[in-house]
Structure 1
Amino acid sequence: MRMQWDAFLAAVQERGEYPSRREADRAARVVLALLGAHLVGNERAELAAGLPETCALVLLNPLPAAEPLGPERFVRATAAWIEGATEETAKWDVGAVLSVAADTAGDDLMRRILLQLPPGYDLLFGRPGMT
């Protein structure tokens, strides 16, 4: 069953301790667009199917990444896309969004997603040692 946009944003806002939904929305869109550029095939489609439609569209529509970004570069890329962000705040943004997405995905799908990504993403998703 697809999660609703308001519920997803509320969860991201709570995890990220954002003062407004707008900040949670911005983080969600940037992080999911970057993630979508790194996932392919069934795993990306299955993750999108469980996320709110707005998130699914962001996840499914980016151009594929030219090369896979390791976790540190993923965080730096997030910081570059969020105005005023630092690597530290971007790491917080990534963790808030990806941990909510991981909760939505469930363990089986998360294991398959983590197999597509460079080592270290388990920490970004809040699932240390899952791979």
Structure 2
Amino acid sequence: MTTDEFASVRYIVDDVPAAVEFYTTHLGFTVHTNPAPAFADVVRGPLRLLLSGPASSGARATPDDVAGAGRNRIHLIVGDLDAEIDRLRTAGLSFRGEVVAGPGGRQILLTDPAGNLVEIFEPASR
């Protein structure tokens, strides 16, 4: 795929190599652009995650009053949420809160090394 075929989301991170390792090791992303101190991008399916370090133009363009992690997050679908939670906990990762269930499925929030949220979601059986 070329970059214009992806849906891209930018996350501001403190440490680009640590973010690349987190997403590739634990969440099934692959490196799209070689990591550099300022910027890297990783992909999973049609999602291109732009990881912008403090020296990147994307991070510098963010106003200080909105620079922190918010309630927005990427949403990754899994087939077995409990197994995914066990796998990630075994790898030493921790979650924000507990599993939340609703009519659409079950989810839990994970944070990347910079505090950005990642929602791990299992759709309800139909």
Same fold flag (TM > 0.5):
no
TM-score band, normalised by the shorter chain?
A: 0.3 to 0.5
User: Per chain length, whose mean CA-contact separation is higher, i.e. which structure has more relative contact order (CA < 8 Å, sep 6+)?
Assistant: 1
TM-score, normalization by structure 1? 0.34
Larger helix share, 1 or 2: 1
Larger-Rg structure: 2
TM-score, normalised to structure 2, is 0.35
